[in-house]
Chain A
Amino acid sequence: MNTSMQRVKHSAKAALFYAGVVLISIIPLFVFAWMVMTALKTQMENLAVPPRLIFHPTMDNFRDVLMGRSFGKYLINSFIVAATAVGVSLIVGLPAAYAIARYRLQKIGLALLVARMVPFISYLIPWFIVFRMLHLVDSYAALVITHLIIALPYVIWIMINFFENVPVSIEESARIDGASYLQAFLYVILPIVRNGVFTASVLAFIFSWNQFLFSLILSGRNTMTVPVAVFQFISYDQINWGGLAAAATVITLPPLVLTLFIQKYIIRGLTSGAVKE
């Protein structure tokens, strides 16, 4: 009798808890749902008062966005800039992170943290002046260089954290087997931290993909990245909500999908650099 009462009480509590879980989870999801719904509505439906929850979904907005206004080119631009920035960050950042972790070069680590506190605009003003002088505004070089400011410190931080968990003895035994330092690093150490390399690459890619301020000033007709393109649509086509929402959906999709792959490591990745002194 008593135990069945307790069981009822227990399951009522569990049901209440799950109701809370669902209600809380709706909050982050709602905005994305609204974005997709707006993208699937016609202009008429988007201007309807009150806003409609039931409607005939149409793919017209997505078709218009992907076909028209060189949006495909902007997607490719974003991809080129992000992929190049990540590639360069890995090439120069991985060995640096390993040395910092291996020899506890903590001053470099601290300098990286301070670099992150510098407002992007402090980097942008000088670089804008330089690129303007060199006629490099609206070039991939200008975008990649500034995006490196975000990607490189991040790759180094995340990787310091992962390299610190690799015992020094592994490098030493590879050395005894006759490997050079570079060989030991490339063929023995790096494979051990491949999850870290993947996490760092994905996070740096997302940061570059989402970057707005540098690209707003330094990109142009030829190199415009997707966040800037969407922002330009707003000023020029303010009332076309369906089209805007479709563009927003298309640019948000890659980062959302990518995070799912690094779910296990993402919090460790985002907090590295701040956790240690």
Chain B
Amino acid sequence: MVDRHVKYLFPLPALIVMGIIVVFPVGYNLVLSLHRWNLASGGTLSFIGLQNYASLLHDERFWNSLRVTALFTVGALGGQVVMGTALALFFHREFKGKALVKAIFLFPIAATPVAVSLIWAMMYNYDLGIINHVFTTLGLPRLLWLAGPRSVIPALIITDVWQWTPLIMLIVLAGLESLPGDPFESARVDGASGFQTLIYLTLPMVRPSIIVAAMIRSIDAIKTFDLIYVMTQGGPNIASENLNIYIFQKGFSYFRMGEASTLAVVLFTLVLVFNIVLAMLRNAGANQL
């Protein structure tokens, strides 16, 4: 009987707070997506059903933002997972200074994204940036980086990969360190080569960690805002305008709250679907083993 105190009373304050700060806005966001409302012109809220959703089909800027979101997410997440896993495998051994290396790899993760983006924007500067300077020194051509419609997404991906590869690396490394030693011992006894051990043993065993790392990272990569807003604000023109930046412009430059809410619902759906797919991948792997 008294037990119920803990079970129901302890979570109560948090549930109330979450209800107010999380559930209310999500519900209001859904309701808004069914309305036309221009906050700037002082217009009133008018119910228009699914019209906002239907008009997305002809909204070229929406399709552009989806394309940018997809390119950025696939490029950044792919780069981070491959490089993070490779680095984790490289560092997976006992050596002096391992703790220091791990500490260094925490810095990009913890650093304020606005600050990091600002410094990268300086490094990408066409005339004065260190990156073009290194390129000319090596005999390579100067690139426009953030200023070029073709180079802007790769440039943003490079910065994102720089900032978040360490997270994947540290998660996968933690996964590697928690693997049992026995299978590796038997593989060694059976005369498996290092490469065979890696492909048939290490990678399959550490796969859950890799997928968890990818899930955590994908949630934020699809919604990337700070990095792009600080470095390009979606430019040049709309070449780097991902869905989140487009929503921001709709909502806080044009104050079209209904349309912005509709786009936000689409963005949430994207994140959710992507994560369900990753969770299924993880569970499928778990059943195989």
What residues of A have a CB within 8 angstroms of the CB of B29 in the complex? 122-123, 125-126
Of the listed stretches B46-54, B182-190, B260-268, name the one at the interface; the rest are far from the partner chain: B260-268
| A38 vs B213: C-alpha distance when bound (angstroms) | 33
Q: Which of B18, B120, B223, B267 contacts A31 (CB 8 A)?
A: B120
Min distance, Cβ B146 to any Cβ of chain A, angstroms: 13
| A115 vs B272: C-alpha distance when bound (angstroms) | 10
User: Beta-carbon contacts of A234-275 to B below 8 Å, as 1s and 0s?
Assistant: 100000010011011101100110111001001110110011
The SS class assigned to the A binding surface is helix
Asked if A11 CB lies within 8 Å of chain B CBs, one says no
Tell me the number of A-to-B contacts counted with CB atoms below 8 Å. 249
Are B25 and A21 neighbours in the complex by a CB distance under 8 Å?
no
Q: Which of B114, B128, B261 contacts A227 (CB 8 A)?
A: B114
Contacts A212-B114, A244-B118 known; A267 to B128 CB distance under 8 Å? no
| A95 vs B128: C-alpha distance when bound (angstroms) | 53
Supply 8 further A-B pairs (C-beta < 8 A) apart from A28-B108, A125-B32, A271-B174. Answer: A32-B107, A35-B115, A119-B244, A122-B267, A226-B112, A251-B112, A256-B110, A266-B106
| A208 vs B209: C-alpha distance when bound (angstroms) | 27
Task: Name the residue of chain B whose CB is nearest to the CB of A32.
Answer: B107
Are A259 and B119 neighbours in the complex by a CB distance under 8 Å?
no
What residues of A have a CB within 8 angstroms of the CB of B261 in the complex? 122, 125
| A259 vs B170: C-alpha distance when bound (angstroms) | 14
Asked if A198 CB lies within 8 Å of chain B CBs, one says no
Asked if A68 CB lies within 8 Å of chain B CBs, one says no
Q: Which of under 10, 10 to 19, 20 to 34, or 35 or more describes the interface residues of A?
A: 35 or more
The SS class assigned to the B binding surface is helix
A interface list, Cβ under 8 A from B: 17-18, 20-21, 24-25, 27-29, 31-32, 34-35, 38, 46-47, 49-51, 88, 91-93, 95-96, 98-100, 102-103, 105, 108, 112, 114-129, 145-146, 148-149, 152-153, 156, 181, 185, 206, 209-210, 212-213, 217, 226-227, 230-231, 234, 241, 244-245, 247-249, 251-252, 255-256, 258-260, 263, 266-268, 270-271, 274-275
